[in-house]
């Protein structure tokens, strides 16, 4: 009996030692006690290979130096086998990268609302997804739905919202109303597994400006006060696991419209990068 007990204890010890650290391990002091099983951490080589994928169009590659997508996805903990939602994916820049990063055992859900699809995303997204599907990429599912009505799959490992939170302050729904931000955040929170990551990137507005520079899509600056975003997401039940200066630009005066010179300056703004997690 004693010998059997020793064997059991050794087996349990080996299982505990071999458990991979989830993407949010650093946010919880590295302790894995009581955690839900998560995919292993990000593989930098895998993320770099996603950038080098020959399927990627040259116009995407040209933006990599300013957008630093491999570093961003590593910060968000994106790894092979994950199930990730690309919220307001627009033309699918990150959708394609995520598809490579999570691999055949993972899944990417590319969501857009009706306004964005009708204005500029329908054709480029359809073209991208068709190209990837023709090449045998089968791990992307398209979700066309309003932000406060979307039905995301349960137990997602991560969701990202890139350079779009500021639009939540004016973006119209088909019936002319403004999207309900609190309901949107609730749906993201509910879809994530415990410990799942919610990554947000957006253009810095002047500190303390609140939603001032996000309110008018014609005359506004398309920027948002980072502190306002932080407080709204925390109020929705998330915890802040980290923030990064990967996309910081101290030369950005934060007083110009990000579309002023087309895409030339849009990738050179001072951007905040937040990594939130759903508490366990």
pLDDT tens digit string along 61-70? 999 999 999 9
Q: Is the dihedral of CA 169, 171, 173, 177 positive or negative?
A: positive
Residue with tokens 């820049």: 93
Closest CA to 45 of 72, 20, 70: 70
CA dihedral (33, 34, 39, 40) in degrees, to 10, reads: 0
User: What pLDDT is stored for residue 39 in this prediction?
Assistant: 59
Higher pLDDT, 105 or 12: 105
- Residue pair 221/256 in contact (Cβ under 8 Å)? The answer is yes
Q: Is 272 left (phi over 0), alpha (psi -120 to 50) or beta?
A: beta
DSSP 163: S
Q: In the structure, what pLDDT confidence band is assigned to residue 264 with cuts at 50, 70 and 90?
A: low
pLDDT at residue number 10 = 35
Question: pTM to 2 decimals?
Answer: 0.85
Phi, psi of 276 (to 5 degrees): -100, 160
**Where are the chain's structural domains?**
2-277
% of the chain residues with pLDDT over 70? 85
Indicate if the pLDDT at residue 19 is higher than 50.
no
pLDDT in tens, 162-209: 999 999 999 888 988 888 999 999 999 999 999 999 999 999 999 999
* Closest of 67, 50, 52, 169 to residue 108, by C-alpha: 50
Cβ contacts of 47 within 8 Å, gap of 6 or more: 70, 73, 74, 78, 101
Per-residue pLDDT reduced to its tens digit, 203-233: 999 999 999 999 877 778 999 999 999 999 9
Domain 2-277: give its CATH architecture: 3-Layer(aba) Sandwich (3.40)
Question: Which tokens sit at 270?
Answer: 């001072």
Cβ(214)–Cβ(166) below 8 Å: yes
Q: At what angle do helices 93-102 and 122-134 cross, to 10 degrees?
A: 30
Name the helix (H) or strand (E) containing 267.
Answer: none
């Amino acid at each position: 009996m004693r010998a059997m007990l020793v064997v059991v204890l050794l087996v349990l010890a080996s299982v505990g030692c071999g458990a991979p650290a989830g993407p949010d391990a650093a946010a919880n002091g590295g302790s894995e006690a009581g955690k839900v099983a998560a995919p292993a951490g990000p593989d930098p080589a895998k993320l770099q290979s996603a950038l080098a994928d020959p399927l990627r169009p040259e116009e995407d590659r040209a933006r990599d130096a300013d957008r630093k997508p491999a570093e961003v996805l590593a910060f968000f903990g994106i790894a092979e086998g994950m199930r990730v939602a690309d919220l307001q994916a627009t033309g699918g820049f990150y959708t394609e990268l995520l598809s490579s990063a999570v691999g055949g055992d993972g899944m990417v859900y590319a969501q857009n609302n009706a306004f964005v699809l009708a204005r500029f995303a329908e054709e480029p997204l359809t073209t991208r997804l068709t190209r990837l599907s023709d090449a045998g990429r089968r791990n992307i599912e398209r979700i066309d739905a309003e932000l406060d009505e979307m039905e995301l799959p349960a137990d997602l490992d991560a969701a990202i919202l890139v350079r779009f939170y500021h639009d939540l302050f004016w973006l119209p729904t088909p019936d002319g109303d403004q999207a309900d931000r609190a309901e949107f955040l609730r749906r993201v929170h509910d879809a994530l597994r415990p410990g799942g990551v919610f990554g947000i990137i957006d253009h810095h507005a002047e500190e303390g400006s609140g939603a001032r520079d996000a309110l008018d899509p014609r005359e506004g600056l398309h920027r948002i006060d980072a502190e306002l975003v932080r407080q709204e997401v925390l109020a929705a039940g998330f915890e802040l696991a980290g923030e990064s200066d990967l996309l910081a630009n101290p030369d950005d005066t934060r007083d110009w419209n990000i579309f002023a010179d087309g895409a030339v300056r849009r990738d050179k703004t001072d951007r905040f990068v937040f990594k939130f997690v759903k508490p366990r």
